[in-house]
Amino acid sequence: MPTSFERLVYEKTREIPRGRVATYGEIARVIGRPGAARAVGNALNRNPHPITVPCHRVIRSDMHIGGYAKGADAKKELLIAEGLEIRGDLVIGVPWKF
């Protein structure tokens, strides 16, 4: 059963449009927990619904793809399939702002 914090993270992550990314820090900021980017990452690592909560769309603030429960290569493949440009493990473009 997700915690209230995890539920907030999952709800906000669902709002990221296909083909866009947001940072862990941006998710933390918009749920009222600035500075909790690492906790956001931990919550997304425990995401029980990766189909409806697109955690692959959340990246590091330096625009690197960051971690993913199924591995960085899987995350990269999903982002490319959504039309994002990736060079190495760097997402090219501007992150989504809520």
Residues with a known catalytic role: 55
Contact 80, 86 (CB under 8 A): yes
Distance CA(94)–CA(22), nearest Å, equals 9
Show the CA angle centred on residue 46, arms to residues 43 and 48, nearest 5°.
120
3-state secondary structure of 87: strand
Show the tokens assigned to 25: 């820090």
